């Protein structure tokens, strides 16, 4: 789950003929995108739970 996107992007870029450095950058970018996307989803879901709890207390 953690290394799959990095390895997939790296191998895909290498298979298309790009350099190892460029392929590594694409792999790292893919991994960081997955990490930050997951963190944003977590924050938004916690905000939704908090707003629901607040609405239940007020209403």
Count of all residues that appear for the chain in the document = 59
- Helices 4-15 and 20-58: crossing angle in degrees, nearest 10, is 150
Per-residue pLDDT band for 59 (boundaries 50, 70, 90) equals confident
Q: What pLDDT, on the 0 to 100 scale, is given for residue 13? A: 93
Chain segment 2-48, per-residue pLDDT in tens: 789 999 999 999 999 989 999 999 999 999 999 999 999 999 999 99
Residue 3 DSSP class? S
The pTM of the full predicted model, rounded to 2 decimals, is 0.77
**In total, how many domains does the chain have?**
1
**Using CA atoms, how far apart are residues 15 and 55, in angstroms rounded to an integer?**
52
For the chain, the first-to-last Cα distance in angstroms comes to 41
Domain that residue 43 falls in: 4-58
């Amino acid at each position: 789950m953690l290394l799959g996107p990095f390895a997939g992007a790296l191998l895909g870029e290498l298979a298309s003929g790009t350099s190892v450095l460029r392929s590594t950058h694409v792999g790292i970018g893919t991994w960081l995108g997955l990490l930050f996307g997951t963190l944003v989803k977590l924050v938004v879901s916690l905000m939704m739970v908090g707003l629901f709890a607040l609405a239940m207390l007020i209403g």
